Amino acid sequence: MGELSSLPNIGKTVEAQLNQVGIFTEEQLAAEGSRGAWLKIQSIDTSACIHRLLALEGAIQGVRKTELSQEVKSSLKAFYQEHKL
């Protein structure tokens, strides 16, 4: 496993997907943002769900996805509804 799997919420599968879309480091993930990274993952995996989006944001913030603020969760849920396939 690489650097990304050491972040909260990121397991081997999500790390592999991030690598597949060109994201290999914590810095690259932060620069892409959870929304951008999720859209890239969705382009290769149409089953990408809200939980993956929340997990990516949690990884960027350094917290478990359940610890994200309600405001952040609401914003991400609205984004997901607009972009889900």
CA distance linking residue 44 with residue 77, whole number of Å = 20
Domain that holds residue 76: 4-83
> How many separate domains does the chain show?
1
Stated pTM of the model: 0.95
Residue bearing tokens 């889900």: 84
Confidence category of residue 1, pLDDT binned at 50, 70, 90: low
Q: What number of CA atoms fall less than 13 Å from residue 9's CA on the CB side?
A: 21
CATH code, domain with 51: 1.10.150.20
Tens digits of residue pLDDT in 28-78: 999 999 999 999 999 999 999 999 999 999 999 999 999 999 999 999 999
Burial of 26 (0-12, 13-18, 19+ CB in 10 A): middle
> DSSP secondary-structure letter at 46?
T
CA angle 49, 77, 61 (to 5 degrees): 85
